Amino acid sequence: MEKILIIDFGGQYNQLIARRVRECNVYCEVKPWTAPLEELKAFDPIGILFTGGPNSVYLETSPHVDPEIFTWGVPILGICYGCQLIAHALGGQVTPAQDDSAREYGKTVTYYDTACKLFRGLPEEGVSWMSHGDYMAKVPEGFSLTAHSDACPNVAIADEKRGFYGVQFHPEVSHTQFGVDILRNFLYEICGAKGDWTMGDYKNTAIAQLREKVGTGKVLLALSGGVDSSVAAALLAEAVGSQLTCVFVDHGLMRLNEGDEVENAFAQWDIHFLRVDAEDRFLRKLAGVDEPERKRKIIGEEFIRVFEAEAKKVGAVDFLAQGTIYPDVIESGAGDAAVIKSHHNVGGLPDFVDFKEIVEPLRMLFKDEVRQLGRELGLPEYLVSRQPFPGPGLAIRIIGDITKEKADTLRLADAIFREEMASAGQDKHANQYFAVLTNTRSVGVMGDGRTYDYTLALRAVTTSDFMTADWARIPYDLLDRVSTRIVNEVGGINRIVYDITSKPPATIEWE
Ligand code: XMP
């Protein structure tokens, strides 16, 4: 398989570069600049990308690469800091920008030399996203200037003979108009990629690798019903079916029919599927608790206890499987990331369960790739394209104390909201949407009688990263339909409100 190496110099867009490369159907991995040169060489890339970074290359303490990398005969594209690093390492000169005009931030009109392979097929001018305070005062010998802006004569440099390219802007961000074309040119025109990274192929390779690693060993997986653990389970089921035990702890705070949906999805494989109906147990522990953090803690701890009890019945296993995905690995800075994450993901399970090794079959995949793999494996679309659902489930969407009655009420109302959102096509626009059962009761009138029932809040947000979010502008007539249906079809609710706060200052969940 052809591979691209991305050397990370601490840039905020390192993950984005990797995603873009994979979207071009070329496999890549991000490795920190501190990785040993032998490791980078052994990776055997067809091309190398240097990411941006917050430092200045001319400072001795700044991240760098062993110059030997320039003798490998492998094409290199440096982005921002990476571009300056190429210039600095090969005899050019990078200095702080002398005046404000040479410093560039934000959207900048850029003029491309389309004779350069990197810009082949592009219009001669386009907007690019800049973010650099340093300036290449002198470009190294052998390099020519291949793009400029009104303020800066050397926005891009190239030594086409040796296959070294640098751009001061960020082709990976969506603000750069022809960014993907530029990356594609690097991959296909310069590195000679054929584009062999497809999920179908990956699935087969991953299955073969899992079979080899697991051998005749036994594997145990804690299944939450979320996308990651479901896809990990499906992949393992396909690879080592009868050696796999999935423990699905149903804490009784899932959405309507969710437990059955998860169970049904795995009926097609010959695996040991243990569904633990722990609703009573969880509700007993949660009775009378209204403080959000305590709810979370109780559920986390109880989850471990239930899983532990089931794991004991299974006995010793060789592998504990987890659904860790690539963003977790990159964010934790590679290296020790696996271990930190393993404990974090399952709340300390490895301390309780008798296993020899951890296996993380999705470790190298981005979320959208995980979803694609799920589809390849034949998981149903409702599981694969599921919106995020918090581990503590409806417990943090029932404000105040939790009872089975309240959970049932919320489940029905939430299902109506989701159904109407989907039939209005709004599920494509909102990234997360759900109902919240508030703790407020108010007076209403139904028929000829007075009611004193709960207020239900509807929440729908648009967001790309869930760190910030905006409330979704869904149509009034949709809200009207949802409101009418819920009040008519679900007992115990006589008032519906729509949450119109963004995050910040609110959060997406209410607790
Ligand atoms: P907030 O409410 O912090 O939520 O804006 C951001 C995203 O995280 C999800 N979320 C959780 N996920 N366990 C989880 O697995 C949790 O305890 C939890 N709390 C919030 C939330 O659904 C949203 O997508």
Got the DSSP string for 80-116?
Answer: THHHHHHHHHTT-EEEE-SSGGGSEEEEEEEEE-TTS
Q: What is the pLDDT of residue 351?
A: 60
Q: Looking at the chain, how many residues does it have?
A: 511
CA of 295 to the centre of ligand 1 (A): 14
Q: Which residue has the higher pLDDT, 330 or 355?
A: 355
CA of 366 to the centre of ligand 1 (A): 19
Is 261 an annotated catalytic residue?
A: no
- Residue of 341, 367, 466, 468 best suited for mutating to test ligand 1, as the one with most atoms within 8 Å of CB: 466
Instruction: Give the model confidence (pLDDT) of 23-68 as tens digits.
Output: 999 999 999 999 999 999 999 999 999 999 999 999 999 999 999 9
Task: Please list the residues that pair with 398 across neighbouring strands.
Answer: 437
Is 152 an annotated catalytic residue?
A: no
Which of 24, 104, 116, 170 is catalytic? The answer is 170
**What ligand 1 atom has the least distance to the C-alpha of 389?**
22
Instruction: Give the model confidence (pLDDT) of 403-459 as tens digits.
Output: 999 999 999 999 999 999 999 999 999 999 999 999 999 999 988 899 999 999 999
Residue 396 in contact with residue 509, Cβ under 8 Å?
yes
Residue 490 in contact with residue 409, Cβ under 8 Å?
yes
Task: Please give the single-letter amino acid code of residue 134.
Answer: D
Helix (H) or strand (E) holding 404: helix 404-423
CA of 288 to the centre of ligand 1 (A): 23
Q: Are strands 357-359 and 319-321 parallel, antiparallel or unpaired?
A: parallel
Q: Are strands 164-167 and 219-223 parallel, antiparallel or unpaired?
A: unpaired
| Cis status of the peptide bond prior to 361, with omega within 30 of 0 | no
Q: What is the pLDDT of residue 489?
A: 98
Which has the closest alpha carbon to 162: 183, 142, 140, 133? Answer: 142
Distance between CA 72 and CA 82 in Å, rounded? 17
pTM of the model: 0.79
Residue ranges and CATH numbers for the domains of the chain are 3-190 (3.40.50.880), 199-384 (3.40.50.620), 397-498 (3.30.300.10)
Distance between CA 376 and CA 210 in Å, rounded? 17
- How big is the CA angle at 448 (ends 445 and 450), to the nearest 5 degrees? 40
Q: Report the C-alpha dihedral over residues 306, 308, 312, 317, rounded to 10 degrees.
A: 130
Q: Using a pLDDT cut of 90, give the percent of the chain over it.
A: 77
Residue 105 has pLDDT above 80, yes or no: no
Question: Helix, strand, or coil here: 381?
Answer: helix
HSE-up (13 A, CA, CB side) for residue 498: 18
Atom 22 (ligand 1): residue with closest C-alpha? 390
Residues with a CB atom less than 6 Å from ligand 1 = 296, 388, 390-392, 432, 466, 503, 507-509
Q: What is the pLDDT of residue 347?
A: 42
Distance between CA 346 and CA 365 in Å, rounded? 19
Q: What is the pLDDT of residue 151?
A: 87
Q: What is the pLDDT of residue 341?
A: 25
Residue 344 has pLDDT above 80, yes or no: no
- Residue of 464, 509, 510, 511 best suited for mutating to test ligand 1, as the one with most atoms within 8 Å of CB: 509
Rg (CA), the chain: 27
DSSP letters spanning 313-369 = HH---SEEE----HHHHHHTTSTTHHHHHHHHHTTTGGGTS--SEEE-TTTT--HHH
Atom 20 (ligand 1): residue with closest C-alpha? 390
CA of 468 to the centre of ligand 1 (A): 12
**Mean pLDDT taken over the chain:** 92
| Chain-centre distance for alpha carbon 71 | 35
Confidence of residue 225 (pLDDT cuts 50, 70, 90): confident
CA of 509 to the centre of ligand 1 (A): 6
Is 172 an annotated catalytic residue?
A: yes
Q: What is the pLDDT of residue 102?
A: 60
Confidence of residue 135 (pLDDT cuts 50, 70, 90): confident
Q: Using a pLDDT cut of 70, give the percent of the chain over it.
A: 95
Question: Token digits for 80?
Answer: 């921002």
**What ligand 1 atom has the least distance to the C-alpha of 506?**
5
At residue 69, φ and ψ (nearest 5 deg) are: -60, -30
Residue 365 in contact with residue 372, Cβ under 8 Å?
no
